[in-house]
Structure 1
Amino acid sequence: MGDRTGLSPASGITPVQQMVASGTGALFTSLFVTPLDVVKIRLQAQKTPFYQGKCFLYCNGLMDHVYVCENGTSCTSWYKTPTHFRGTLDAFVKITRNEGVRSLWSGLPPTLVMAVPATVIYFTCYDQLRDFLRYGMGYQGSQVPLVAGGLARLGAVTVISPLELVRTKMQSRQLSYAELRVCIQSAVAQDGWLSLWRGWGPTILRDVPFSALYWFNYELVKAQLCQGYRVHEATFSMSFCAGAISGAVAAVMTLPFDVVKTRRQIELGEMETLAVVAKKPSSTLMIMRRIWAEAGYRGLFAGFLPRVIKVAPACAVMISTYEFGKAFFQNLNRERELQGQ
């Protein structure tokens, strides 16, 4: 997968340099897209207020509350559900107004803790697998980025899945770190350590096809741009455009599984808040059927705009930063080779 110097035969950089480039890209991307991720999760998690008997129960995607009403539902007239969001812009405005600007970056620490190692694993494994398939196994064609992207994402998701669960809980409900620790400990005590991988199935169904489609389209679009502009290597702007296009296409095609993943991960939090006895988690198919029955196809594509707005620029920023980092190390390695001659 490399020569005696440890350099990749295709990129001309070492795996460590690939890790540094991908980690830097992950840092910038996480800072940029976390507010959009918060809005997406709030829109996916919110439900219509529900009334039953003398109790008023509502879930706005931030927190569950139960009020005992002496006068029936009329006692709720004082409460106007200020954080029920009608859309992406409405969510941005209300979250900022009611909770402060900093709340748009809620869950950023676990996002960084998750995103940096996940991206390092993901991008490094992709490049190494792609080079191995092309130069080690002799495979050529469009199936190489398809297979390499899917396998790399499978490994990264499995390793990072518990941190993804923590991040989703912090963004869907306002939790302190102490409350979050109690929530995680309760989940482990009730359902065992496997509960930390809640949502792994739909995450795999979302991320593995996403990754395969993303890298397939990215390599294709990048090659076409290079051919059109008659250049051998893609420029920063070419990588940016190719990443945005391929990310948007893959995001739209895998959005229903993103909705299911969010719903499944917050199920446990809802049961804990309402003191409901734990039950076996719903399957991916059952959750999809439930969402379809409640809201039709629109429910399966909840958070469509913030996801596309988030994923397209995120992919563009990530891949262009990564390619820029690789180009930097390529030039550095060439200069070292010339100095050593």
Structure 2
Amino acid sequence: MASEDVKTNDSAVSKIVNLAEEAKLAKADIKPSKYQVYSICKSLVAGGVAGGVSRTAVAPLERLKILLQVQNPHSIKYSGTVQGLKYIWRTEGLRGLFKGNGANCARIVPNSAVKFFSYEQASKGILHLYRQQPGNEDAELTPLLRLGAGACAGIIAMSATYPMDMVRGRLTVQTDKSPYQYRGMVHALSTVLREEGFRALYKGWLPSVIGVVPYVGLNFAVYESLKDYLIKSKPFGLVEDNELGVVTRLACGAAAGTVGQTVAYPLDVIRRRMQMVGWNNAASIVTGDGRSKAPLEYSGMVDAFRKTVRHEGFRALYKGLVPNSVKVVPSIAIAFVTYEQVKELLGVEIRISD
């Protein structure tokens, strides 16, 4: 009996040891390797560089777009793209053209890094779930799946960096003639928190969430779908050795940016106007004559849409669209191509959806 008890105990101990070893192996599998960590870091760096380079290249147009979006309709200072840029140059000089770009880059670098990385992970996750369905075991990413992955990436990135976008908008709007100025992003964040509360940092968040779905989603979906089409059909000799040239990829990015921003632009206008509520010190919304009306207050996204259309007409929802279109075409194109080129230089796979 004693011998049998010993054998039973040995068997139990052996099972426990085996289970412990299996648990260690499972834990090792779950724990990311150094290669995986380096790959993630490289992907984040590539996304951040892409965002910083693309936004700096079009910073003057970005500032003019915001000024056009929020200017008081009773005191027009910026009547068009060329006139607006000339006016900023004449009144504020070169620094005026890039005002707010530092804050913009401080926001867009982490935003872009999170957005590209989130898209890669979301596309893998969505494709994995899609392949679990019967008959889809060998399925590839479709434009609709890419749209969903892009929407997820846009929401995650926008929500993570929204407070910086909010104060960046205010920094961009203020001029030397404003009665009160933020000294920088940190000062703006602390001032808004102190004077308007935490919720003020997320003014306009809802239209941003709704707008980011078609905007970022279409950017990724159109860009990748165009690339796939060109690689598979090889029209006009644009593709060599299953790789697209830089110029062709820039064209794909330009098309993607144009489609996305055209669909989502009205929501961007409403978001920007909601961000300005409670802050009446921007010169662009303070009129110089005694006849001007006070800036409108909005109780929410629907109210902002209604009042904008009622007081300024439907065209007001597309104020700043021309400079934004001129900006988006190179900006999105540069961002996609820079991201892929930096990943290639860092030794990470080039394809975004890989």
TM beyond 0.5 = yes
**Where do residues 103-182 of structure 1 align in structure 2 (5 Å cutoff)?**
103-135=96-128, 138=131, 140=140, 141-174=142-175, 176-178=181-183
- Verify: 1:307 aligned to 2:324, yes or no: yes
Q: Residues 48 and 110 of structure 2 are in contact (CA less than 8 Å); yes or no, is this contact kept in structure 1?
A: yes
Q: Residues 237 and 320 of structure 1 are in contact (CA less than 8 Å); yes or no, is this contact kept in structure 2?
A: no
CA distance in 2, matches of 1:118, 1:85: 29
Show the counterpart of 1:216. 221
Deviations, residues 29-74 of structure 1 (Å, cap 9, x unaligned): 121111111000111111133xxxxxxxx5x6xxxxxxxxxxxxxx
- Structure 2 counterpart of 1:151, one-letter code: C
Show the counterpart of 2:16. none
- Structure 2 counterpart of 1:92, one-letter code: L
- How many corresponding residue pairs? 296
CA distance in 2, matches of 1:329, 1:188: 39
Unaligned 5+ runs, structure 1: 50-57, 61-83, 334-341
TM superposition shift of 1:5? 6.9
Unaligned 5+ runs, structure 2: 1-29, 132-138, 287-293
CA distance in 1, matches of 2:281, 2:103: 23
Show the counterpart of 1:52. none
TM superposition shift of 1:188? 2.6
Show the counterpart of 1:43. 68
1:322/1:91 CA distance change after superposition, 3 Å: same
| TM-score normalised by structure 1 residue count | 0.78
- Bigger mean CA deviation after superposition, 205-214 or 168-177: 168-177
Q: Residues 42 and 348 of structure 2 are in contact (CA less than 8 Å); yes or no, is this contact kept in structure 1?
A: no
Show the counterpart of 2:262. 252
Deviations, residues 106-163 of structure 1 (Å, cap 9, x unaligned): 1112111111111111101111221233357636322321111111111111110100
- Bigger mean CA deviation after superposition, 217-226 or 172-181: 172-181
TM superposition shift of 1:183? 5.8
Deviations, residues 277-305 of structure 1 (Å, cap 9, x unaligned): 99984211111111111222211111110
Deviations, residues 55-108 of structure 1 (Å, cap 9, x unaligned): xxx5x6xxxxxxxxxxxxxxxxxxxxxxx1111111000110011111111111
1:296/1:324 CA distance change after superposition, 3 Å: same
Q: Residues 236 and 324 of structure 1 are in contact (CA less than 8 Å); yes or no, is this contact kept in structure 2?
A: no
| TM-score normalised by structure 2 residue count | 0.75
Q: 1:28 aligns with which of 53, 60, 79?
A: 53
- Bigger mean CA deviation after superposition, 170-179 or 35-44: 170-179
CA distance in 1, matches of 2:205, 2:191: 19
Q: Residues 34 and 105 of structure 1 are in contact (CA less than 8 Å); yes or no, is this contact kept in structure 2?
A: yes
TM superposition shift of 1:4? 6.1
TM superposition shift of 1:195? 1.2
